[in-house]
Amino acid sequence: MGSRRAEPPFDWHDDTTWEPALRGADAAYVAFYPDAAFPGAAGTVGSFADLAVARGVRRLVLLADRGAAEAERCEQAVRGSGAEWTIVRAGFITQNFSEAFLAELVRAGVVALPVGDVAEPFTDAEDIADVAVAALTENGHAGQIHEVTGPRLLTFADAVGEIARVTRRDVRYLPVTPEQFVSSLTGRGVPAEYATQLAGLMAEVFDGRRATVTDTVERVLGRPPHDFAEYARKTAATGVWDEFSEAAPS
């Protein structure tokens, strides 16, 4: 729901911005920032859901993480709000590889994460968005949990290998300890609290439980989900992964 740059502005951490954003709405997409799996998300999402229902919102669609305890508490809060609800569960979003610190790691040539040889059905943001739009605007999704995944399982090493092939660069995956990961992030200017929470979340969800592929995208949208290889090929063409690329964020 919303953005600080939207009109009216919306900030999850400033509840005075919530009511103006809800004015006149009968449905809302609830995507907590930075993530529904982060500590404290459920309390905030629950307060927002209660306010939304009190202001006449009849339908809530929540974006939640597959397998994260705090995200499950967010789900409970939305389901208990009294609104017609739909849960859209997703795993690791494919586009993370071309944003923020992960894009920096790809450009540097070593993607170091605290994840071992665990398979993940990397999920394209477009698939998530399209399923969410369907749940928001169409009937027939009330009370359903849509688990959105990509079409195949890949390890992080597999994914980085595909990026290396399409960029024709020497990019490799390096599993590291949570402590090494936090140290790397803070060294890049990421706040220590956020880095520690992210390391904890990755340890929680990348344990093999999410190593399944669903038919949700085909069932809801009538088309196959986007494959990681397609994303890697298109993203490589933008130059965002090129060493010293002007397309890279400063």
Q: Across all residues in the chain, what is the average pLDDT?
A: 94
Mean pLDDT over 117-135 rounds to 98
Mean pLDDT over 65-70 rounds to 94
The pLDDT value given to residue 5: 57
Q: Which residues contact 22 (CB under 8 A, 6 or more apart)?
A: 28, 51, 52, 55, 57
DSSP track, the chain: ---TTSSS---TT-GGGHHHHHTT-SEEEE--SS-TTSTTHHHHHHHHHHHHHHTT--EEEEEEETT-HHHHHHHHHHHTSSSEEEEEEE-SBGGGGGSHHHHHHHHHTEEEES--S--B--B-HHHHHHHHHHHHHSSS-TTEEEEE--SS-B-HHHHHHHHHHHHTS--EEEE--HHHHHHHHHHTT--HHHHHHHHHHHHHH-SSTT-----HHHHHHSSPPPPHHHHHHHHHHHTTTSTT-TTS--
Distance CA 111, CA 160 (A): 7
The pLDDT value given to residue 246: 45
CA 240, 187, 193, 76 dihedral sign is positive
Q: Rounded to 5 degrees, what are φ and ψ at 232? A: -60, -45
The pLDDT value given to residue 244: 56
The pLDDT value given to residue 248: 43
Distance CA 232, CA 213 (A): 19
Length of the chain as a residue count: 250
Distance CA 26, CA 53 (A): 9
Domains by residue range for the chain, with CATH: 91-123+150-210+227-250 (3.90.25.10)
Mean pLDDT over 5-22 rounds to 90
Mean pLDDT over 214-243 rounds to 98
- The answer to whether 146 touches 88, Cβ cutoff 8 Å, is yes
Backbone conformation region of residue 140, classed left if phi is above 0, alpha if psi is from -120 to 50, else beta:
left
Q: Is the per-residue pLDDT at 189 higher than 80? A: yes
Q: Which of 190, 204, 124, 131 is nearest to 159 (CA)?
A: 124
Q: How far from 184 is each of 23, 65, 181, 187, 205, CA to CA, in Å?
A: 43, 24, 5, 5, 20
Q: What is the pLDDT of residues 79-119, one digit of tens each?
A: 999 999 999 999 999 999 999 899 999 999 999 999 999 99
Structure-token pair, residue 60: 């809530």
